[in-house]
């Protein structure tokens, strides 16, 4: 049985989706704000969160980041009237697994929920240890945490997390931009070579490369990027 947490401040939408999802055998709890969402997640476990971005007390994108940071791989599907491409990309960058613009057909939401859960179930198990170390840094892929050599926790966006995950998994190997796109692209996001360059630049900043004599991420003209470190697993 699929357990859904619906977070939406519109009572009509909550009632509609509670009834509709119930016809598919989903167990759904509905709350109207971020406070209710945090309390519900503290009380019980869910398989998926359906999160409206426009809430009365907290920004949905902030809540999305919080879920990703504190609740691991719990899937989040964003539901919002903000259907412009920038809002969509920003939501996915901050950790959402899928994005559905209002108004939508409830049947499409059911399909999206099942697809997100299938992707999670089909994800191959990590062969490597969840925590890796390089040049004094500690990167915990399970907790999605990066800790600097001096013990400072460094915040990573979802795009930066996926990029660093790709680099640490392929340390010492040249990765073309197309290969990095394949390794780090979020589901449903259309990205370009330029977006990879920008993400690499941001990740370099997080790794403090301006303060180092030797870059951790090397640019090889005409070939791509090389994570030029020894990774300890």
pLDDT of amino acid 90? 61
What string of DSSP letters covers 117-170? HHHHHHSPPP-S-SEEEETTEEEETTTTEEE-TTS-EE---HHHHHHHHHHHHT
Compute the distance between CA of residue 49 and CA of residue 189 in angstroms, rounded to an integer.
19
pLDDT of amino acid 29? 96
Tokens for 25? 């055998």
**Local confidence pLDDT in tens for the 233 residues of the chain:** 899 999 999 999 999 999 999 999 999 999 999 999 999 999 888 999 999 988 999 988 889 888 877 786 788 998 887 655 666 666 666 678 888 888 889 999 999 999 888 876 644 444 455 789 999 999 988 778 899 999 999 988 878 888 999 899 889 888 888 888 877 776 555 556 677 888 899 999 999 876 667 889 999 888 889 999 999 87
What is the distance of C-alpha 106 from the center of its chain?
24
> The pTM is what?
0.57
pLDDT of amino acid 121? 60
What string of DSSP letters covers 12-73? HHHHHHHHHHHHTT-EEEEESSHHHHHHHHHHS--SEEEEESB-SSSBHHHHHHHHHHHSTT
């Amino acid at each position: 049985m699929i357990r859904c947490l619906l977070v939406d401040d519109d009572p009509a939408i909550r009632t509609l989706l509670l009834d509709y999802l119930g016809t598919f055998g989903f167990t759904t709890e509905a709350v109207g704000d971020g406070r209710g969402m945090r309390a519900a997640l503290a009380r019980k476990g869910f398989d998926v969160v359906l999160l409206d971005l426009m809430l009365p007390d907290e920004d949905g994108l902030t809540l999305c980041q919080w879920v990703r940071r504190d609740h691991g791989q719990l899937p989040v599907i964003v539901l919002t009237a903000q259907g412009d491409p920038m809002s969509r990309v920003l939501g996915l960058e901050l950790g959402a697994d899928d994005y559905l613009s209002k108004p939508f057909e409830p049947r499409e939401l059911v399909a999206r929920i099942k697809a997100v859960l299938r992707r999670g179930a089909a994800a191959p198990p990590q062969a490597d240890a969840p925590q890796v170390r390089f040049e004094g840094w500690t990167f915990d892929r399970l907790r999605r945490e990066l800790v600097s050599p001096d013990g400072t926790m460094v915040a990573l966006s979802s795009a930066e997390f996926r990029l660093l995950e790709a680099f640490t998994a392929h340390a010492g190997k040249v990765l073309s931009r197309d290969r990095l796109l394949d390794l780090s692209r979020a589901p449903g996001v259309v990205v370009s070579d330029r977006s990879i360059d920008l993400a690499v630049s941001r990740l370099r900043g997080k790794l403090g490369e301006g303060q180092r004599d030797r870059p951790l991420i090397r640019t090889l003209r005409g070939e791509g990027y090389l994570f030029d470190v020894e990774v300890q697993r």
